[in-house]
């Protein structure tokens, strides 16, 4: 029996549903999903296993046009993903089929010379009549091996997508053992879960000016307990004030929401301590960015 394997990049504008698809394929919450754009800053690798194949997915941060070092680092990470993989999957939304980033992304795909698929996501959000012209328009470009409509939310079309990807894989080794679903460290995943809660509970500029580092992560198996201390880095005292909230209400809220997800992630009780630290201009300083893992 031949074994098939390959690396697959999931690219596309922010908020189209890349993390949702990855989570559905892997059946576990690995990439964070948020109603706000630009939440996935780092690349998340998820590994999908079948008896006779292995697909290693990279979820890329949204590609878009901005100037700060943080955004540049996100765009670089997406571009380098194009070079490292065997197949590219571009995702768009059925109801917004022509986001402004598309020409730039198509250009990157063309340069990479990799086989690529177009996934049209969120088909649950409207009638079929909306879908057909989108398929027709992209078909005319003769750009993609295949165009696959899906709903990452309901799972519609996801089996077909996996089948089409599989058919394009080459013979190759299993890169990871069958029980490994991600190569991200636990503390990275913990930081992502906490960051997701900051996104969900705060507004305006705060989510984009905060970063999370996990300072301490200790499993205490005897007590079925996981102890976590994480630092939330913000850019100003006023942001710190907002994040902590009146009488500590906001940070408590975030901590509780994070704890619920972390408990299902670890399958144990979790104690989370959140510290808030002002790191002036962390998102503009390349050194701080490196330290925070961007």
- Tokens of residue 130, six digits: 């909306």
Please say whether the beta carbons of 162 and 25 come within 8 A.
yes
Please say whether the beta carbons of 5 and 173 come within 8 A.
yes
Strands 53-59 and 269-278: unpaired
- From candidates 5, 19, 202, 213, binder to Mg ion by CB under 5 A: 19
The binder of 45, among ligand GDP, Mg ion, none, by C-beta within 5 to 8 A per type, is none
Using CB under 5 A as the binding rule, whether residue 121 contacts Mg ion is answered as no
Please say whether the beta carbons of 272 and 262 come within 8 A.
yes
One character per residue 112-131, x = contact with ligand GDP (rule: CB under 6 A):
---------xx-xx------
- What are the backbone dihedrals phi and psi of residue 167, each rounded to the nearest 5 degrees, phi first? -65, -15
One character per residue 32-71, x = contact with Mg ion (rule: CB under 5 A):
--------x-------------------------------
Closer to ligand GDP by CB, 43 or 240: give it.
Answer: 43
> Residue 100, exposed/middle/buried by CB under 10 A (0-12, 13-18, 19+)?
exposed
Q: Give the rounded distance of the alpha carbon of 249 from its chain centre.
A: 28
One character per residue 136-175, x = contact with ligand GDP (rule: CB under 6 A):
---------------xxx----------------------
Smallest gap from residue 166 Cβ to ligand GDP (A): 21
Helix ranges restricted to H, 85-225: 102-112, 128-140, 158-167, 186-201
Residues 228-267 touching ligand GDP, rule: CB under 6 A, are: none
Smallest gap from residue 156 Cβ to ligand GDP (A): 8
At residue 8, the 3 state secondary structure works out as strand
Smallest gap from residue 40 Cβ to Mg ion (A): 3
- From candidates 7, 8, 11, 15, binder to ligand GDP by CB under 6 A: 15
Which of 44, 28, 53, 23 is closest to 175 using CA atoms?
Answer: 53
Closer to ligand GDP by CB, 19 or 288: give it.
Answer: 19
Using CB under 5 A as the binding rule, whether residue 77 contacts Mg ion is answered as no
| Residues linked to residue 46 through DSSP beta bridges, in sequence order | 57, 182
Using CB under 6 A as the binding rule, whether residue 40 contacts ligand GDP is answered as yes
**Residue 63 to residues 118, 243, 254: CA-CA distances in angstroms?**
16, 28, 28
Which of 150, 142, 146 is closest to 116 using CA atoms?
Answer: 146
Strands 115-121 and 87-93: parallel
Closer to ligand GDP by CB, 30 or 47: give it.
Answer: 30
- From candidates 11, 33, 78, 234, binder to ligand GDP by CB under 6 A: 33
**Chain residues in the site for ligand GDP (CB under 6 A):** 14-20, 33-35, 39-40, 62, 121-122, 124-125, 151-153
Residues forming contacts to Mg ion in the complex (CB under 5 A) are 18-19, 40
């Amino acid at each position: 029996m031949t074994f098939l394997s390959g690396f697959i990049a999931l690219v596309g504008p922010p908020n189209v549903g890349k993390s949702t698809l990855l989570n559905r394929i892997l059946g576990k919450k690995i990439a964070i999903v948020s109603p706000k754009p630009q939440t996935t800053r780092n690349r998340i690798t998820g590994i999908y296993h079948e008896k006779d194949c292995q697909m290693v997915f990279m979820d890329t941060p949204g590609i878009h046009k901005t100037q700060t070092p943080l955004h540049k680092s996100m765009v670089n990470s997406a571009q380098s993903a194009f070079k490292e993989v065997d197949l590219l999957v571009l995702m768009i939304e059925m109801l917004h089929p022509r986001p402004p980033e598309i020409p730039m992304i198509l250009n990157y795909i063309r340069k990479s010379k990799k086989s690529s698929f177009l996934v049209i996501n969120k088909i649950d959000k409207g009638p079929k009549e909306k879908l057909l012209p989108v398929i027709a328009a992209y078909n005319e470009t003769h750009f993609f091996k295949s165009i696959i409509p899906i709903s990452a939310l309901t799972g519609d079309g996801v089996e077909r997508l996996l089948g089409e990807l599989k058919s394009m894989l080459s013979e190759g080794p299993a890169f990871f053992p069958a029980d490994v679903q991600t190569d991200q460290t636990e503390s990275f995943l913990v930081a992502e879960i906490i960051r997701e809660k900051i996104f969900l509970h705060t507004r305006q500029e705060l989510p984009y000016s905060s970063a999370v580092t996990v300072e301490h992560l200790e499993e205490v198996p005897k007590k079925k307990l996981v102890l976590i201390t994480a630092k939330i880095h913000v850019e100003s005292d006023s942001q710190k004030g907002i994040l902590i909230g009146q009488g500590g209400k906001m940070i408590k809220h975030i901590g509780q929401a994070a704890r619920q997800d972390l408990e299902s992630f670890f399958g144990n009780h979790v104690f989370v301590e959140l510290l808030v630290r002002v790191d002036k201009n962390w998102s503009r300083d390349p050194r701080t960015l490196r330290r925070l893992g961007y």
